[in-house]
Each structure stands twice: as structure tokens, then as C-alpha cells.
A and B are shown apart, each in its own frame.
Chain A
């Protein structure tokens, strides 16, 4: 099977305005920067970026362009704002959140990880202890007041848990170290993070790989994401980028 596309524009065809796009990466590590630049070129609008831990702080140049082009409708994340309030005060995304122009919906990181994992494994919802005793057990945490839907809790074995729903993205952008034409992927070190769960969660999974190889070149024993989860891939050499989010 050949899932390879030749360029970053073709590989994004048929993604519609309003798409929920999963963006893995933990701050600077494992962020699909080439596909994000393709997204800027594509002009797709009303995008919901479904993140895990601040990949758009790691890809800040791409984020500024997406915000200034008014392509973003909403961001879901556990850590989407700069740590420094001073830096945040000049960040177009944070300002758009303050103005209510972009929605920012927040979940604890492990809850987000589980929401993607559940979506990929056919589980519609789950109960978690994370966030009990905080605002996260009361409503959906978002800057848009009308979207603060009440949450349900349940006592199980004498303890309180919060009901959370699976989060199924329309599309996932994946960044892998190595991939073959069948879509089998392998990641390097801590750049793995949200990539495997998001690859399994999305309806359409598109991977950028630093090294494109032939089927059989990656030892079957060490494949992280089996190709069954991946529909399209492109080769994209590794970028140079800053390892800071401050």
C-alpha cells in the first residue's frame, strides 16, 4: 500500500472548514510543524485545534499566523497560555481568548490523554478522579460562559468521580521520526507524547515523517503506531526550532 503524498498541500485535501484537528506535541517536542504550515497555506477556517500540552507554544510562529489569519475558532488544551503573564499580554492568541474571539477549553492533561485514547478505542465516556474538588467537576472550563455545560459526577465505592467524554478529532496531524509507505510509525524519545493516542483517535490521520522508508525497513518489533491508524503521510525533514516556551 502506498499512503505517501508528495507535498504538504495535497496531503491536506478534503479537510473542511470547521474541522477538529488534533495537534500532538508536548511544548516543543513532537509537534507536526510542517503540517501546521500546510494548514496556514490551505486557508481552512473555523478550525478547532485539539491539543494535549501546549504544542502551539512550541510552534509559536505558526500559531501567530493562524490566529492573525483568523483560521482558529477554538483551542482545547491543558496548557495553552504562556507561563509568563508578561509574554502572554503580547500574545495574539491569549488576547483573542481574553476578547472571547477564540474559545479556549481546558482539561487536565491526563483527562485529555484519556479522552483521545477513549475515542480511538470505541469507549464513549469514562469516570476519572482527576479534578474532583476543583472547578473541573462543576462545568466545562472555557472562556465562553454560555459553553460552560454542567458536568456529571458519580460516587463509586464511596469516592467521587467526574464523567468525561471521548474526544474524536476529524483529523490528526502526527509527527514521527520514521515511517514507511504502509503508515507504520516510530517516534524518538520524548517526542512520542500525544502522537500515538491522537493517531488512533482521529477519523483521518496524516503523518509527517522525518525519514520515509520502505515497508520492512523498520523492525516490526519496534513499530510504535501500526499503519492501520494512518491514512496519509509525507516526508518532512526535521526543523530547527527553539526549545523554550517562556
Chain B
């Protein structure tokens, strides 16, 4: 399979950030989604961290580090004017209860029906168990679920697949996928190609994509 030089992780996050509206309450998963927080300065986007915080601020350094103030990835952060703290029950009340406008997650595999796998990589050698964290709750309650990931793995395996071979995190909930090569939407007809990296053709994208792509009549270059 041919490999294409795609966007760096930061640029995938930048493109995904355009999909978030001012006023949205948003939860960002580990990996590329976390980088979205670098692109929302000056916008009215409220980050919820499942540890128990809304209006989560940027990473803390030096004397701003407070061991009682970390995000859900165990990184020290700062609070912002308007921050609220709450316990884990309240946090998952918001998450499961449908108060997250956008949830952005990383993924190992996604299919054209909006199923994705991300919580457990069987290559680690554990039969069945792994780290699920809050990922499944976030998927259950999200009003809009977006996936931010590389289009293929480092070893060249497909991540957009016909059938998941890794354990599913959720089924039928993914709305949009942002990769280093393309922007796609999950529709009732299948995987719709909306945007692609300048210089590539739809055939190029199809060559690294398992499911058959539907080409949008408004297909355009990725806008950063």
C-alpha cells in the first residue's frame, strides 16, 4: 500500500477545532483530541474534564502546578474565571446525561457504520481486560462524536476498516472523522468524503481506506 505524507497531529486537531461551535461544552480524549485545546484560545468553548471540572484551563508549569488540580490525563492544569469543580457522579451525570455538545476521541479502527474501537489493543496480551476509562460513557452521551486519528497505522495497516477486529468502544455513534489525509462524515449511506489533502485524488484516499467512499459533490481541499 502506498503511504502519503499527511498533516501533522497538530493540524488534524486544528481542522477538527473548526467543527466546534462557540458556546459548546466539549470533552477531549487522550491523544490528538487533547491538542484541540491549543487552537481554541479566545473562543467561547468550554472544556469539561471527566475528573470533575468545567472550564478546564491550559497546562500548568512551574509554580502554577497544584497537585490537587489535574486533567483527566493526570497533567497539571490551571483554572479559568468561571471554572467549576464537582465530584465524579456529577461529572458522569453531565457526560451520560447528554450535556456534552462535542466529544472528540482517538481511535484504533473506525468503520463506515460509525462503530469504533479504541479502548483495548489486544496486542498487549490481555485477554478481555484493559483500560476503558470514561470513553464508553462519553460515547453514550455525546451529541456529536468526532474521531481524530492518523489515516493508517505506523506499520501501514488500515484504520478505516470494513469490520472492526479490535474490541468496540461504541457502535453507530461516530459522526465525523478527521485524519491527516481527509475529513469524512458517517452517513446512512456510508462513509462520505468531504475534504482531502491538497495534491491527492479521491482514488488516493480510497487506496488507504477500507470501506468504499462516497465522494461528496462538494468535495474540497482540507481547510485549515
Query: When the two chains form the complex, which single residue of B65, B76, B89 contacts A117, counting CB atoms closer than 8 Å?
Result: B89
A238 surroundings in chain B (CB, below 8 A): 67
Known contacts: A26-B51, A26-B88, A97-B129. The answer to whether A243 contacts B170 by CB under 8 A is: no
Interface core residue of A52, A131, A190 (most chain B CB under 10 Å): A190
Asked if A142 meets B128 with Cβ closer than 8 Å, knowing A29-B70, A190-B68, A244-B74, the reply is yes
- Is the pair B132, A79 in contact by a Cβ cutoff of 8 Å? yes
**Smallest Cβ-Cβ distance to B170: which chain A residue:** A133
- The answer on a CB contact under 8 Å between B170 and A192 is no
Residue of B nearest to A210 (CB): B68
| Bitwise interface map of A from 141 to 155 toward B, beta carbon under 8 Å scored 1, else 0 | 111010010000000
A79 to B119, CA, bound (A): 10
- CB neighbours (8 Å) of A192 from chain B are 52, 85-88
- Quick check: is B179 within 8 A (CB to CB) of the other chain? no
The B58-108 residues at the A interface (CB cut-off 8 A) are 65-72, 74-76, 79, 85-89, 91-92, 95-96
Is chain B's interface secondary structure helix, strand, loop, or mixed overall? loop
Least CB separation from B85: chain A residue: A189
* Interface stretch (choices A1-9, A101-109, A212-220): A101-109
* A131 to B, closest residue via Cβ: B136
The residues of B that contact A104 with a CB separation of less than 8 Å are 129
Judged by a CB distance under 8 angstroms, whether A88 is at the interface is: yes
With beta carbons under 8 angstroms apart, the residue of A85, A113, A131, A135 that contacts B88 is A113
Q: Are the CB atoms of B133 and A134 closer together than 8 Å?
A: no
Closest to A195 in B: B87
Given the known interface contacts A28-B67, A143-B127, A243-B67, the answer about A197 and B89 at a Cβ–Cβ threshold of 8 Å is yes
CA distance A188 to B171 in the complex (A): 37
A136 within 8 Å of B (CB atoms): yes
Q: Tell me, yes or no, whether A98 is within 8 Å of chain B by CB.
A: yes
Chain B residue at minimal CB-CB distance from A107:
B132
In the bound complex, do residue A58 and residue B172 qualify as a contact, i.e. CB atoms below 8 Å apart? no
> Is there an interface contact between B140 and A194, defined as CB atoms closer than 8 Å?
no
Give 22 pairs: A residue, B residue, CB < 8 Å, sorted on A.
Answer: A29-B67, A29-B74, A81-B126, A88-B124, A106-B131, A109-B132, A117-B89, A128-B140, A130-B136, A132-B171, A134-B167, A134-B168, A134-B169, A142-B128, A143-B127, A145-B127, A189-B69, A190-B71, A191-B68, A192-B52, A193-B52, A243-B76
Residues in chain A within 8 A of chain B (CB atoms): 26-30, 52-54, 58, 78-81, 83, 85, 88, 97-98, 104-111, 113-114, 116-117, 128-136, 141-143, 145, 148, 177, 187-197, 224, 238, 241, 243-245
